Amino acid sequence: MARSNYLFTSESVSEGHPDKVCDRISDEVVDAFFRAAAAEGWDPSQVRVACETLATTNRVVIAGETRGPASLTRDFVSHIARLAIRDIGYEQAGFHWETCDIEVLLHAQSVDIAQGVDSAGNKDEGAGDQGIMFGYACRETPELMPAPLYYAHEILKRLSQARRSGESKVLGPDAKSQVTVRYENGKPVGVTQIVVSTQHLDEALSSRDVRAIVEPYVRQALPAGWISDATVWHVNPTGKFVIGGPDGDSGLTGRKIIVDTYGGAAPHGGGAFSGKDPTKVDRSAAYAARYLAKNVVAAGLADRCTIQLSYAIGVAQPLSIYADLHGTGKVDEGKLESALMKAMDLSPRGIREHLGLNKPIYARTAAYGHFGRAPEADGGFSWERTDLVDQIRGLI
């Protein structure tokens, strides 16, 4: 039997966290290939990017495999990376967008991989790799996301807005948050512990000083009444946090996959998203699984829904689909699985076409989660739409 009274914790990290700097650069490369394809008449479905970034003190290394317009030279990729670092806000001695050394080691996609993915003759386009992907939705927030992660993101979004707007001139780009939520009768009702660690540009600031700066933003981010006198605060618990970003700790693409998804409230297949074009099912099928799960919950068929998809490299159709309604469902899960397979073509091509993924929409996903965001006019976060509700209901 599921527990109804418990504590659950999730964390988030800001766009200036070293790993998120790398995710942003990798996704900027993906977007650049799609923009170049559109400008030069390339078929966007033929774009291939698998980009990994490493960042450390005044050094960035970008590696991986690509296929696309020849205009994306190494110098241009380096320029893209510098613009991303500048936008994040790094103009510090140990990591500066103008002076850091950027090495670009991208190479052409392996022909062995390409033959499994590309369509040819009667063969449909296959998945870019094997793997399992999960999607999840629940009724804990209006965005149908788990509350601990959603509010951990909201805290850092507000700190970022204050920094970028100039409202707070002492906050640096690097920050982390963590929220412990108290559940009663299975519903989130309050916060017992709050952790915020944020880089500050004034060395004289103490942890108490930093708390005075960040506390109003934290309170704005959380629902009214969730913070009580019993809530424990940990603000910059190690003390001074001046050296931040890749100068304070190295960063790598894809090292914050739980932050990117559901904060540990749902399974993760293990594959990172950032730096990958949507033929890579690690990314596109995880988006599709979230899309299906969200539509199931939005349709009123369950209060919680987990969807698993599985794929084999070079094979177009998923090997399996699994739905778990966690005892909250109003429909048979086996019938739901059959309905979902009919509601959407879950081949890599089908997912990309249904969600419109062959576009430069990825850099914006690199921080504050890939899920729980509003769909955007240009197709960004299309997997957050709830336009399958009526179709799924009609198929049950």
Mark the ranges of the chain whose per-residue pLDDT is less than 50.
Answer: 120, 122
- Rounded Cα distance, 300 and 392, in Å: 11
- SS3 assignment, position 20: helix
* DSSP label at residue 313: B
Residue 339: what pLDDT? Answer: 97
Residue 241: what pLDDT? Answer: 93
Residue 1: what pLDDT? Answer: 56
Residue 117: what pLDDT? Answer: 64
- Rounded Cα distance, 393 and 237, in Å: 49
Residue 70: what pLDDT? Answer: 81
91-133 residue pLDDT tens: 999 999 999 999 999 998 766 555 556 654 545 677 878 899 9
Contact of 241 with 205, CB cutoff 8 Å? no
Residue 270: what pLDDT? Answer: 85
Rg (CA), the chain: 21
Residue (of 175, 149, 339, 335) closest to 260 by Cα position: 149
Residue 109: what pLDDT? Answer: 75
b/e map 68-88, b = 16+ CB within 10 Å: bbeebeeeebbebbbebbeeb
Residue 81: what pLDDT? Answer: 98
Residue 110: what pLDDT? Answer: 65
Residue 184: what pLDDT? Answer: 97
What is the pTM (predicted TM-score) of this model? 0.95
